[in-house]
Structures are given as C-alpha cells and as structure tokens.
Amino acid sequence: MLAFCSKLTSLFHSVYVFAKTYKRDQEKKNAEAAAAAAAALSSPASATAKAEDPVPAPAPAPKIVRPPLSEDEQRQVYKWMLEEKRKIKPRDAAEKKKINEEKALLKEFIRAQSLPRL
C-alpha cells in the first residue's frame, strides 16, 4: 500500500510540474505575440504600406435623429416596462425589494401629469 501511495504522489507531482511548465510556456508565447504585434503596429514599414493603400476607408453612417416620443407613447413604454418587471421571478429578498422599488417608480411615472423626457 505504501508503494502505491508513493507512486501516486510521484504521479501527481509530475503532473503538477508539467502543468506549471506548460502554463509558463503559454504565458511566454502570449507575451512574445503581444510584443510582435506592438512592433508591427509601430514599425515604419507598416505605416508606408497603409499610406499606399488605394482603398479609402468607408465613411461612417450618418446618425439618424428621431423625433421625441409623445407622452402617450412614453406612457405605453412605461406600462410595457412595468409588465416586464411583473414577469420577473426574484431569487432572494434583496432582489424582490429592488424590483418592487423599480415598479413603484414606474407606477409614479405612469400616473404623473407630465413625464420627464426620454
């Protein structure tokens, strides 16, 4: 039995050393790859290659400015949010308290005469 335990301990020790060495080698490879990438980005050869590139970069898409929501639409959004909050099943008392506070705030917004702008 003692011989089996010593062989088992030796096996675990060998696996540990191998895994530790493998991890260290992977970290070195990752560091070398990062250094090579940084060198490639900062080298003047890549800068001249980019300057000679005949394909221009695509222009960014123009931002679409939408008209603000009316108060009725905002109330509908708040009602939808309240319905979704009611569907949530809380995991603990703290989460239930947070959901109840959010629902109370949504109810205040729905009942208010004037709504804050979204």
Q: Which residue has the tokens 């939808």?
A: 80
**Residue 103: domain span:** 71-111
- Number of domains, the chain: 2
Whether 17 is in a domain gets the answer yes
Q: How far apart are the C-alpha atoms of 20 and 68, rounded to whole Å?
A: 59
Q: Between 84 and 24, where is the model more confident?
A: 84
Whether 101 is in a domain gets the answer yes
- Tens of pLDDT, residues 36-91: 666 666 655 555 555 565 777 888 888 899 888 888 999 999 999 999 999 999 99
Write out the two tokens for 102: 């959010």
Q: Which of 110, 83, 86 is nearest to 100 (CA)?
A: 86
Whether 8 is in a domain gets the answer yes
Whether 64 is in a domain gets the answer no
